[in-house]
DNA sequence: CATGAATGAGCCTTCATTCAT
DNA sequence: CATGAATGAAGGCTCATTCAT
């Protein structure tokens, strides 16, 4: 999955591309500006022409990847009529994106959380929109009667997000691939139908 | 919640305690050895008498905290007869531990994942036991008929772990407290009964 | 005897010059990077822009000094027609260089041997060429009949090198000067004519 | 070749033995007191009960090894009647000792020179005796007519010492063995008979 | 638009050494 | 005779960042 910077001066594009490539295999902290510049074929100084910070670079790259992610999600929802269908679509699209876009997954699942500056960044705003979208669908479902009305919608939101993230965590850390369709289907089944067994009567 | 090192030479105890205290408010990377030593009232060099590394210190402290966590979990399970009861107990105990032991939560939810060395550490072994315990209960429940037999037990394990972690994430990051009982009850309800609404008949 | 780095950015030149100057009076291990940087009027960090290592700095400086040494030797040989003349010239030039270039002498006679990394460095390659030059002349002399054909040329090479080095060792260690011409003449006489006394007949 | 410390309290013996063993493969600077203590099975502190210094330990071990060396030399000389015979014996015994006692060779050829404190130590006094012995024999030979009277005896001494040391240097550095008899014979032949070829007449 | 020389602050780590017990 | 806990001073090295050109 490529996510090239399509805009801006050549130097900026080169830097973002190189950084993105590095993020596929290394963690943020261990990537040095020298390494980025070297891989991009530019000088270290140029990084600070286009980014205020190393972290700013991370945020901009995340922003870029996240835009594609968000677009995919919204495309998936559009066609669906029911809330359950929409949530299924989101779960599938999320797993799919995390699976096929390693950089996105690494940043979102590993890097971003312990950085306070992230939560002040524009990148975080996008994630909030994503989370909010889920929450809105849940609320809508509870109103329309598709979903049980006696739940804390925030909690369901967290269960869904947690399920998505934890499912992807292992593959990101240990660099494995998973069967997205099966995983998405299984998660949907568990969360929507519950796991308690109802004996036949 | 304090979890002091009860064994070893005074210097080692002081170091672990001081580091633990620092971890409550700062992230690992930004804690310097000078800071640790200063807070512990020992010299920096002593750290390397007892720990091979700054990371080793992290792992040993985590290990220590996790031992208490694990003990709490097992105590909770003991009394329960049903698999569902056991899982409920684990979810509650986990949320409770993460809520009251900030250091444990911070390390496990924020710090540890992007460090490869963690996964080779003894501390990781404990987490695997924890995850394994959940998996075993799930399997047992599927066999006894308490839980639906047509699920991927690994997936349910991930949903549970993901729900726990994501629920705690926000409070860890933004330093808030939550109502553990309510959250645990809600998560249990969602996962066990499902969220789909079944109209009255 | 100065042997400044004539190429490269000013910072690199300053570092090499300062280090060279320090090597005249102190041994490598006791020279700190802070000292080098201080004497050079640059920051410590800059050292690592131009040298991978403190040792790399040593090797590059040695390389530089040795180049001049080597050049002197070759100039001395050029004019000589006989092998014996060439060897005489080498012995003289070597003693002369060691005497007048204290840094070269110190590095070659004292520092370099116990460092394994030296033998993998480019600097060592030059020394091998020097030793090889001597060996080649010896072999040539044995073929042309100037030198006895019934010797191990390697052994003679070692005797010559050993004589040169040991003669210079004391002056390097105790910081004394010697009469180069007399010493060279004496060594040549001993090695070429032997020390056994042949009574008159 | 073993050179155990036969006297003193068990702790001291253990320390010297362990250090000696370590010196066979590592250089002095890279051997830590922790390593010595660990290998000796004692605590670091004990080292300072018996030795004022790490360097003192080196000197005492060298002293011990050198005593055996010196004894071997003197035994070799004793039987010989001529000065030439004595020098031959010294050359042979020296090469032999360096070859079979790696620790002695390493210390004398590699470590000792760049340490100023060595030259103030008792160990250095022994080496001076060794060198002095050679010088005395040379002078005696020059007086009795065995050796040419028109030489600088100091220079011959240096040539002999240099030849011995340089011949052994390579095997010490690269850990190779040599044919002691052949080397000694060759060196003797070169130095005593000279290398100039005298055509038959 | 880009370079490259230089900075500066600090970090982790090492290790010989001491001393009370 | 020996331990082991603790020190302290320094040391090499990294790296994000700046700025004149």
Query: Is residue D37, in this structure, part of any structural domain at all?
Result: no
> Each residue of A119-161: pLDDT tens digit?
888 888 899 999 999 999 999 999 999 999 999 999 999 999 9
Q: State whether A196 and B195 contact (CB < 8 Å).
A: no
How far is D148 from C190, CA to CA, in rounded Å?
10
Q: State whether B167 and A158 contact (CB < 8 Å).
A: yes
Q: Say what the pLDDT of residue B200 is.
A: 52
Q: Say what the pLDDT of residue D197 is.
A: 85
Query: Is residue B151, in this structure, part of any structural domain at all?
Result: yes
> Each residue of C68-117: pLDDT tens digit?
999 999 998 999 999 999 999 999 999 999 999 999 999 999 888 877 77
Q: State whether D159 and C159 contact (CB < 8 Å).
A: yes
Average pLDDT, chain C: 91
Q: Tell me what the mean pLDDT of segment C159-187 comes to.
A: 94
Specify the number of domains making up chain C.
Answer: 1
Average pLDDT, chain A: 91
Q: Which residues of C fall below an 8 Å CB-CB distance to D?
A: 27, 29, 84, 109-111, 113-114, 119, 145-149, 151-152, 155-156, 158-159, 161-167, 169, 173, 182-183, 186-187, 189-197, 199
Tokens at residue B88, please?
């409920």
State which nucleotides on strand F lie below 7 Å from a protein beta carbon.
1-20
- Helix then strand then coil, % of chain A, to nearest 5: 75, 0, 25
Query: Is residue D55, in this structure, part of any structural domain at all?
Result: no
pLDDT band at C138 (very low <50, low <70, confident <90, very high): very high
How far is A142 from B195, CA to CA, in rounded Å?
9
Q: How far is the CA of A48 from the C1' of F19 (A)?
A: 11
The answer to whether residue A187 scores a pLDDT higher than 60 is yes
pLDDT band at A199 (very low <50, low <70, confident <90, very high): low
Chain D window 34-73: residues with CB closer than 7 Å to nucleic chain F are 41-46, 49
Query: Is residue B92, in this structure, part of any structural domain at all?
Result: yes
- pLDDT tens per residue, chain B (201 residues)? 444 445 789 999 999 999 999 999 998 999 999 999 999 999 999 999 999 999 999 999 999 999 999 999 999 899 999 999 999 999 999 999 999 999 999 999 988 887 777 888 888 899 999 999 999 999 999 999 999 999 999 999 999 999 999 999 988 988 889 999 999 999 999 999 998 887 654
How far is A65 from A97, CA to CA, in rounded Å?
10
Q: Say what the pLDDT of residue A113 is.
A: 82
- pLDDT tens per residue, chain D (201 residues)? 444 445 779 999 999 999 999 999 998 999 999 999 999 999 999 999 999 989 999 999 999 999 999 999 999 899 999 999 999 999 999 999 999 999 999 999 988 887 777 888 888 888 999 999 999 999 999 999 999 999 999 999 999 999 999 999 988 988 889 999 999 999 999 999 998 887 654
Higher-pLDDT residue of A2, B180: B180
D34: nearest nucleotide, CA–C1' criterion: E15
How far is B155 from C69, CA to CA, in rounded Å?
73
Range of the domain at A100: 54-193
Query: Is residue C79, in this structure, part of any structural domain at all?
Result: yes
Given a contact cutoff of 8 angstroms between Cβ atoms, the answer to whether D107 and D26 are in contact is no
Query: Is residue C5, in this structure, part of any structural domain at all?
Result: no
The answer to whether residue A179 scores a pLDDT higher than 90 is yes
How far is D64 from C159, CA to CA, in rounded Å?
29
How many Å is the Cα radius of gyration of chain B?
Answer: 19
* CATH number for B100: 1.10.357.10
Q: How far is the CA of B3 from the C1' of F15 (A)?
A: 36
H runs (alpha helix) in D1-53: 10-23, 33-40, 44-50
Query: Is residue B47, in this structure, part of any structural domain at all?
Result: no
pLDDT band at C121 (very low <50, low <70, confident <90, very high): confident
H runs (alpha helix) in A52-152: 54-79, 83-100, 102-106, 122-144
B179 Cβ contact list (under 8 Å, min separation 6)? none
Q: Say what the pLDDT of residue D6 is.
A: 58
pLDDT band at A117 (very low <50, low <70, confident <90, very high): confident
What separation in angstroms does the CA of A92 have from each of A159, A163, A195, B151, D192? 15, 12, 20, 18, 92
How far is C172 from D114, CA to CA, in rounded Å?
10
Query: Is residue B39, in this structure, part of any structural domain at all?
Result: no
Closest Cβ–Cβ partner in D119, D163, D182 for C162:
D163
Q: Which residues in chain C have their CB less than 8 angstroms from residue D130's CB?
A: none
> Each residue of A95-115: pLDDT tens digit?
999 999 999 999 999 988 877
The answer to whether residue C7 scores a pLDDT higher than 50 is yes
Q: Say what the pLDDT of residue C1 is.
A: 45
How far is B105 from D183, CA to CA, in rounded Å?
71
How far is C186 from D156, CA to CA, in rounded Å?
8
């Amino acid at each position: 999955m490529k996510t090239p910077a399509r805009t801006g001066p050549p130097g900026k594009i080169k830097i973002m591309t190189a950084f993105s490539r590095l993020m596929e295999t290394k963690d943020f902290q261990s990537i040095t500006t020298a390494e980025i510049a070297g891989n991009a074929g530019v000088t270290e100084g140029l990084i600070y022409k286009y980014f205020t910070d190393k972290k700013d670079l991370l945020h901009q790259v995340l922003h870029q990847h996240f835009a594609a992610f968000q677009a995919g999600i919204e495309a998936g929802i559009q066609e669906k009529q029911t809330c359950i269908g929409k949530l299924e679509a989101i779960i599938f699209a999320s797993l799919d994106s995390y699976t096929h876009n390693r950089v996105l997954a690494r940043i979102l699942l590993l890097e971003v959380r312990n950085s306070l500056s992230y939560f002040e960044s524009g990148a975080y705003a996008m994630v909030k929109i994503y989370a909010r979208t889920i929450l809105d669908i849940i609320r809508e479902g509870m109103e329309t009667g598709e979903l049980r009305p006696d739940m804390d919608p925030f909690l369901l939101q967290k269960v869904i997000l947690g399920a998505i993230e934890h499912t992807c965590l292992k593959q990101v850390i240990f660099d494995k691939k998973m069967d997205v369709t099966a995983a998405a289907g299984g998660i949907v089944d568990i969360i929507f139908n519950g796991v308690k067994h109802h004996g036949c009567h």
